[in-house]
A = this chain, B = another copy of it.
Amino acid sequence: MSETGAVIVGVDVGGTNIEVGSVDERHTVLQRAKAATPEGGPADVLQVITDLVRSLDDSPAAVGVGIPGVVHDGRALTVPNLVGWTEGVDLTGPLSEQLGVPVTLGNDANVGLLGEWTAGAARGGRDILGLWMGTGIGGGLILDGRPYVGSRGAAGEIGHVVVLAGGALCTCGRRGCAEAYAGRRSMRGVATTMVEAGWESSLFTIRDDEGKSKLTSKVWAHALDDGDALAQKLFDTAIETLGIAVASAINLLDLDRVVVGGGLAEKLGQNLADRLHTAAEPWMLQPNPDLKFVVSELEDDAGVVGAAVLARAALISP
């Protein structure tokens, strides 16, 4: 078997779980494994990844890893959502030594878009924004037909495009970022305040019924489905705000594709992408009949498939 036809393992390191999958040359996930993300820092994460990769049937020719942080020259520079990660972690060196194969590192949002671009909803696009709706709002870019990560690997922060200067306080400490209205963490905060102030909502009842500790995508989707007025109001604001941020990105970058992913995209489907398109349209400078808003096709697998694509590319062109 040639190297490019080999099985590659993709690793998606999230704030909650680490997911790994063996992926063949047609970008099909052959086998999956996952474990909770340890909170002890890089060495523990390294160990969990090693164990998960070794638990798979196939011995990979290479391993690709997506992490929720800034990656530059193969090093994790900042990883705000993982406990115990200081700056400048070398994950690829130790991991490659442990596993005996080349390891390539990328940012999770960029890697997810790479997966969708290679084998999902972003196929055929040239200038693409990937928008991941989760606890925060993540983003990745393909520009001029190749992945774009910026001068330090920190590009894609669509959640921190300012839509309302002086507006709602964002968890980044600034005011008026899209994430301050559309990130699930911020939405939960406002929902809590409103319910404490006497507004009725089924959000927290659904959360308890589902046995969740947080307002997950599933909880939001359920509440929206039930016609919960508060959930609807917060969701409308989230879409409206994201629409403006995405339109600003379109005015700046003349995109031909926007791919929406994350938990809510899985639950709501193409309807979410359509709503975002409708919200962005009034803020776009030039009408563009070729611009498509689509929902993620790979769903939960986007990170694993994209990480494998990244590692496969590095095998061919290191």
Contact = CB atoms under 8 A, between A and B. Distances in A.
Interface of A: 70, 78, 126-127, 139, 141, 143-144, 146, 148-158, 160-166, 172, 174, 241, 244, 247-249, 251-256, 282-283, 285-286, 288, 290-291
A70 B160 contact: no
A248 B162 CA distance: 6
A148 to B, nearest CB: 6
B252 A174 contact: no
A226 to B, nearest CB: 29
B254 A150 contact: yes
B143 A254 contact: no
A78 B251 CA distance: 15
Given A155-B254, A161-B161, A162-B283, 7 more contacts: A70-B286, A139-B252, A149-B254, A151-B290, A160-B248, A248-B248, A249-B252
A154 B286 contact: yes
A275 B146 CA distance: 34
Contact of A254 (B153, B161, B254, B255): B153
Contacts of A162: 163, 244, 247-248, 283
Contact of A251 (B157, B290, B291): B157
21 contacts: A126-B151, A141-B253, A143-B144, A143-B148, A144-B146, A148-B253, A151-B290, A151-B291, A152-B286, A154-B288, A156-B252, A156-B254, A161-B161, A161-B251, A162-B247, A162-B283, A164-B165, A164-B166, A174-B282, A248-B248, A252-B252
Nearest to A290: B151
A231 B43 CA distance: 58
Contacts of A283: 162, 174
A127 B151 contact: yes
A192 to B, nearest CB: 25
A304 to B, nearest CB: 25
Contacts of A70: 286
Contacts of A144: 143-144, 146, 148
A316 to B, nearest CB: 19
A253 B155 contact: yes
Contact of A161 (B252, B255, B288): B252
